[in-house]
């Protein structure tokens, strides 16, 4: 008789898995953005909201009174002196923006297309950032012995016989203000333009040259249109920094020029916080309008 041995059959016992609720893509996106939104809300949106609220308060020589009055805005927008101050600030912003745009573009163009190796590019770019190792105040004040009545420039001009007397308009003038601001903020234009130029596909330039385009046509028809996002970002940086600068205007003009930021600083020193808040709101709206106009002309989303 043949017996067939039967092996015991073991059945695996399946352990139930705990099911977690799956978050939808929208909820997950909101959770990821929540920390940044909280930081921006606490440190950006809330202070701006407080400035807007305070701009409607009343005040006297000693304290502020919670209220809802339009006096601060009437005084800010109804005075010709205030309008002249805003126009003077816009003048500084336009002049510094135009100079830094030209200077910054050519520096970035040289670094991107005329310097062959990445190591040399990095070294030259770091050389441009060396002045930023010191504070803005020190770099600004360093122009005083250069532009002063007995400074380096006047001494050199008199020794060469080009002038018979020192030039008075070099220091404590609008020229000194613009020169110092260009020195302070030029790198904010160089960096985004350089970043944009380094992203340009070199095959496009070679194709333009093979098609018979001259160096000028390559620059105007290929390089500059592709560099517009970086130029727009640099313009936003420079314009916002110039509009908010008061120390450069105060020191380099010798108190002879005014800006909106300097006016707000003087109002705060006199404890006129609601008036300063009203001017801050007007200045913020003006800057946002200028930035919105730039963004309407140039799409910078590719750079962000």
Q: What is the mean pLDDT of residues 206-231?
A: 89
Asked if the model's pLDDT at residue 233 lies above 80, the reply is: yes
Please report the pLDDT score of residue 106 as a whole number: 93
**pLDDT tens, residue by residue, 5-43:** 445 554 545 555 555 456 666 778 888 888 989 999 999
**pLDDT tens, residue by residue, 246-285:** 889 998 988 888 899 999 999 998 889 999 999 999 999 9
Percentage of residues in the chain with pLDDT exceeding 90?
A: 35
Number of domains composing the chain: 1
- Which residues span the domain enclosing 127? 80-303
CA–CA gap between residue 298 and residue 301 (Å, rounded): 9
Tell me whether residue 292 is in a domain: yes
Tell me whether residue 239 is in a domain: yes
Token couple for 110:
């040289």
Tell me whether residue 28 is in a domain: no
Q: What is the mean pLDDT of residues 116-144?
A: 82
**pLDDT tens, residue by residue, 59-106:** 887 788 898 989 999 988 888 888 999 999 999 999 999 999 999 999
Tell me whether residue 3 is in a domain: no
Percentage of residues in the chain with pLDDT exceeding 70?
A: 90
Confidence of residue 210 (pLDDT cuts 50, 70, 90): confident
279 C-beta neighbours (distance < 10 Å), count: 25
- CATH label of the domain that carries residue 272: 1.10.3720.10
179 C-beta neighbours (distance < 10 Å), count: 21
Confidence of residue 49 (pLDDT cuts 50, 70, 90): very high
Tell me whether residue 21 is in a domain: no
Tell me whether residue 46 is in a domain: no
Q: Which residues pair with 65 in a beta bridge?
A: 58
Asked if the model's pLDDT at residue 222 lies above 70, the reply is: yes
pTM metric for this prediction: 0.83
Tell me whether residue 25 is in a domain: no
Please report the pLDDT score of residue 304 as a whole number: 55
Tell me whether residue 31 is in a domain: no
Q: Which residues contact 164 (CB under 8 A, 6 or more apart)?
A: 158
Please report the pLDDT score of residue 149 as a whole number: 83
Give the number of residues written for the chain. Answer: 304
Please report the pLDDT score of residue 48 as a whole number: 92
Q: Which residues contact 121 (CB under 8 A, 6 or more apart)?
A: 111, 112, 115
Q: What is the DSSP string of 39-89?
A: HHIIIIIHHHHHHHHHTT-EE-SS-EE-----HHHHHHHS-HHHHHHHHHH
CA–CA gap between residue 76 and residue 55 (Å, rounded): 11
CA–CA gap between residue 240 and residue 134 (Å, rounded): 21
Please report the pLDDT score of residue 303 as a whole number: 57
Dihedral in degrees, nearest 10, Cα atoms 174, 232, 277, 88? 20
CA–CA gap between residue 246 and residue 77 (Å, rounded): 20
Confidence of residue 115 (pLDDT cuts 50, 70, 90): confident
């Amino acid at each position: 008789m043949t017996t067939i041995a039967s092996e015991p059959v073991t059945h695996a016992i399946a352990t139930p898995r705990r099911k977690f609720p799956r978050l939808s893509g929208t909820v997950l996106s909101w959770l990821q953005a929540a920390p940044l939104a909280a930081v921006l809300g606490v440190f950006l949106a809330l202070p701006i909201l407080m400035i807007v609220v305070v701009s409607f308060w009343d005040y006297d020589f000693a304290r502020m009174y919670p209220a809802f009055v339009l006096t601060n805005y009437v005084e800010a927008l109804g005075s010709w002196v205030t309008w002249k101050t805003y126009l003077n600030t816009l003048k500084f912003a336009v002049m510094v923006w135009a100079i830094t745009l030209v200077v910054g573009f050519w520096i970035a163009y040289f670094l991107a297309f005329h310097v062959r190796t990445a190591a040399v590019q990095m070294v030259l770019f770091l050389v441009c950032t060396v002045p930023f190792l010191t504070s803005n105040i020190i770099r600004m004040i360093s122009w005083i012995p250069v532009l002063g009545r007995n400074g380096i420039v006047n001494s050199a001009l008199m020794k060469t016989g080009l002038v018979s007397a020192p030039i008075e308009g070099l220091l404590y003038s609008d020229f000194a203000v613009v020169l110092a601001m260009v020195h302070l903020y030029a790198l904010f234009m160089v960096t985004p333009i350089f970043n944009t130029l380094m992203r340009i596909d070199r095959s496009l330039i070679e194709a333009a040259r093979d098609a018979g385009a001259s160096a000028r046509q390559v620059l105007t028809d290929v390089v500059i249109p592709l560099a517009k996002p970086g130029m727009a970002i640099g313009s936003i940086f420079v314009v916002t920094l110039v509009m908010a600068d008061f120390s450069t205007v105060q020191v380099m003009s010798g108190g002879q020029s005014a800006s909106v930021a300097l006016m707000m600083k003087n109002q705060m020193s006199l404890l006129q916080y609601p008036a300063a808040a009203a001017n801050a709101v007007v200045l913020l709206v003006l800057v946002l309008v200028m930035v919105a106009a730039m963004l309407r002309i140039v799409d910078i989303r590719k750079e962000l």
